[in-house]
Structure 1
Amino acid sequence: MYNSIFKNRTEAAILLVEKLKKYKNSNSVVLALPRGGVPLGSEIAKTLQLPLDIVLSKKIAHPSNKEFAIGAVSLDSTILDEHPEIDKIYIENEIIRLQNVLREKYKLYRGDRKPIEIKGKNTILVDDGIATGNTLLVTLEMLRKQGAAKIIVAVPVLSYNTVTIIEDQTDEFHYLIASKHFKSVGEFYEDFRQVDDEQVIQILNTS
């Protein structure tokens, strides 16, 4: 297990891809979670000689604390924690609003390109780290609905408390650091500068 701080996302991807070598030139696809997961996904896809695409989901924020997630949504899946005090109309409206945002983001990132077909393929889902795992879980549900043959999650770092949650929902789960003192993904990188939309578009256009 890797027990240090990564220099940047590229170094994290180089270390992580060692766990995925068996998928090189296979019937597989790499899906990255924008924006931070895209540089890692690009490095992993190039090394494994696999196609790269993106997959999007959004957290549903608590109405009185936007930093606190009460669930997550993708284009065709929703995961919600139990919060009976929250108005159902708020949740329904947020799901509609967030799904519209996701459609706009897909159009921005992909342009006229069609999404890569994942039905019957090994799907390697990549991000730069996992905090609560809510947005990842809703993404996994979406991939199952789309018929992925096998779902592999690969991340450099996550909270120790999240490991079992993710393991239970995947066919394979690969990580380098599971911290019992996890505060944020960024604390495990020397260089954790923000990845902007233009970088995501450029990476996808050259993949």
Structure 2
Amino acid sequence: MYKNRLEAGQILAHELMIFKNDHPVILALPRGGIPIAAPIVKQLNTDFDIIIPRKIGAPYNEEVAIGSVTEEGHAILNQSLIERLAVPDSYIEQATLKQVQEIKRRLNTYRQGRAPIKLEGRVVILVDDGIATGYTMHAAIQSVQHQNPKKLIIAVPVAPPETVDTLTELIDAVVCPLQVIHFQAVGQFYDEFNQVSDEEVSELLKIIV
């Protein structure tokens, strides 16, 4: 269990010190990944940016992920679940477009005109406050890999071991101090797990960047 995202980020920062000499780019997934990334960026004294993949929710229950989409608009879909729920193609197209528009809105809000950091040839560490199914992180991985990084690492405080194993096959390493078999939701592993607002993200970005 973690007290809050700050404590989880401090623990991850200690684990990630082995990469300090690589001068990695810390890429956080808003909103929850931003307060996790803050102590990591400070400890490693390195570059920071954001990446915003978005979950594609099922009809009538958007909490159920049927896939995810990158900021470039590429969708990664759970075809077996889509078939089981009989989700029509028209819904997927509309939901994907809606999430891409939300990605652009958030990028404009958070970046405030700042250009994204070039990732080609860099060691990149993707940071979030936890992983459940891995679909959103999968989209982030794909987006980063298109930019030809030297090495790609995921750092999260908590995730199910099967998700860690799946993601490890796609990238160079996964740093996850707490791997839990009976996993229901990321928030169950934090004493404090408040929603992070756009305003809080913007304030944290002013401090980190």
Structure 1 length as normaliser, TM-score? 0.94
The alpha carbon displacement at 1:157 in A equals 0.4
Q: Is the contact made by 1:25 and 1:49 (CA closer than 8 Å) also made in structure 2?
A: no
Correspondent of 2:35 among 22, 33, 39: 39
Paired residues, what number? 203
Q: Is the contact made by 1:10 and 1:39 (CA closer than 8 Å) also made in structure 2?
A: yes
Q: 1:58 matched to which residue of 2? A: 54
Q: 2:197 matched to which residue of 1? A: 196
The alpha carbon displacement at 1:98 in A equals 1.1
Q: 1:163 matched to which residue of 2? A: 164
The alpha carbon displacement at 1:116 in A equals 1.2
Residue 48 to residue 27, structure 1, CA distance change in 2 (3 Å): closer
RMSD between aligned residues: 1.2
Q: 1: CA distance between counterparts of 2:23 and 2:13?
A: 17
Give every structure 1 segment of 4 or more consecutive aligned residues whose post-TM-superposition deviation is greater than 6 Å: none
Residue identity opposite 2:53 in structure 1: S
Per-residue Cα deviation, 1:49-79 (whole angstroms, up to 9, x for no partner): 0111110011111113222110000112320
Q: 1:21 matched to which residue of 2? A: 17
Moved more, 78-87 or 103-112: 78-87
Q: 2: CA distance between counterparts of 1:71 and 1:162?
A: 15
Q: 2:185 matched to which residue of 1? A: 184
Residue identity opposite 2:43 in structure 1: T
Q: 2:77 matched to which residue of 1? A: 80
Per-residue Cα deviation, 1:176-198 (whole angstroms, up to 9, x for no partner): 11111111111111111221111
Residue identity opposite 1:203 in structure 2: L
Report % sequence identity: 38
Q: 2: CA distance between counterparts of 1:107 and 1:187?
A: 31
Q: Is the contact made by 1:26 and 1:50 (CA closer than 8 Å) also made in structure 2?
A: no
- 5+ residue gaps, structure 1: none
